[in-house]
């Protein structure tokens, strides 16, 4: 009879300890998800103005992120949007593509979800 009581107490202790670890893991996972969600929604869609010229930097998009102006070189911009002064709304991700020579830009990006603004 004593063995049954001792085994029951040990089983309860082990079960409570596992539940606490599981809850801590769940909370940590939820915090990671919130952090990733905040990072992706922070710069999901931005508005920028296309600049096309015959100088060193043939094409770049000027946009405002937070409190600063940023010049982006788009790797995959469709030709129909390559007109000087065109205002676009788009999503972007940083790209590992090469920056054009003699072009003073802040980042190389891959664009998606491009919409013409009027």
Question: Which helix (H) or strand (E) segment is 70 a member of?
Answer: strand 68-74
- pLDDT per position in the chain (118 positions), as tens? 767 776 666 666 666 655 555 566 656 555 555 444 444 434 478 999 999 987 778 899 999 988 899 999 999 999 999 999 999 999 999 988 888 888 888 999 999 999 998 7
> The pTM is what?
0.60
d(CA 14, CA 12): 5
Please tell me the predicted confidence (pLDDT) of residue 9: 67
């Amino acid at each position: 009879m004593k063995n049954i009581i001792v085994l029951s107490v040990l089983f309860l202790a082990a079960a409570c300890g596992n539940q606490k670890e599981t809850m801590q893991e769940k909370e940590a996972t939820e915090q990671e998800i919130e952090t990733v969600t905040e990072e992706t929604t922070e710069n999901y869609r931005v508005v920028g103005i296309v600049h096309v010229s015959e100088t060193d930097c043939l094409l770049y998009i000027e946009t405002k992120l937070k409190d600063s102006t940023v010049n982006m070189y788009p790797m995959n911009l469709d030709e129909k949007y390559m007109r000087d002064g065109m205002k676009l709304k788009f999503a972007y991700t940083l790209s590992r593509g090469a920056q054009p020579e003699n072009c003073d830009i802040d980042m190389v990006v891959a664009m998606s979800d491009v919409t013409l603004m009027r």
